């Protein structure tokens, strides 16, 4: 069963249905608390992808977060973003007066090797 279907089944996504909610809490508050709990658990599972959680749990966490409207970039996009930041750091080092000439030379070499200078 998909996460969004499960959330609807449990009444967390459909706040108009009063029959599945307790009378103690307003429907919106109960749905909010449940969604918050699911999001926290899913976020934690997704954050520990390489350490503690098996692939099935990670897939389920991703499904829940995507059902809540969150999107994810693929690993290649993350690597590209990382490389852009590395290059930006080396470029910044070239104009930073606190960086030694030796470090600036290393930055120039790195940038030339990566066609960024």
pLDDT averaged over 10-residue windows placed end to end, the chain, 117 residues: 64 51 58 70 55 68 78 70 89 94 95 89
For residue 99, what pLDDT is reported?
94
For residue 64, what pLDDT is reported?
78
For residue 43, what pLDDT is reported?
61
For residue 62, what pLDDT is reported?
76
For residue 94, what pLDDT is reported?
95
Return d(Cα 89, Cα 84) in angstroms, integer: 9
For residue 93, what pLDDT is reported?
94
Same domain, 8 and 59: yes
Same domain, 53 and 85: no
Same domain, 48 and 83: no
Q: What does the CA dihedral 70, 74, 78, 83 come to, rounded to 10 degrees?
A: -150
Same domain, 82 and 107: yes
Q: Residue written as tokens 């999001």? A: 39
Q: Give the Cα-Cα-Cα angle 1, 26, 71 (nearest 5 degrees).
A: 40
Write down the pTM of the prediction. Answer: 0.39
The whole domain housing 82 covers: 75-113
Contact 46, 18 (CB under 8 A): no
Same domain, 63 and 85: no
Number of structural domains in the chain: 2
For residue 109, what pLDDT is reported?
95
């Amino acid at each position: 069963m998909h996460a969004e279907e499960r959330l609807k089944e449990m009444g967390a996504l459909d706040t108009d249905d009063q029959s599945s909610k307790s009378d103690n809490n307003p429907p919106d508050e109960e749905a909010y608390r449940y969604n918050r709990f699911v999001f926290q658990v899913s976020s934690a599972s997704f954050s520990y992808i390489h350490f503690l959680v098996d692939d099935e749990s990670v897939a389920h966490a991703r499904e829940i977060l995507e059902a809540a409207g969150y999107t994810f970039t693929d690993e290649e996009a993350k690597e590209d973003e990382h490389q852009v930041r590395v290059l930006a750091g080396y470029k910044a080092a070239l104009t930073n007066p606190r960086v030694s000439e030796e470090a600036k030379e290393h930055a120039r070499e790195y940038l030339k090797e990566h066609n960024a200078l």
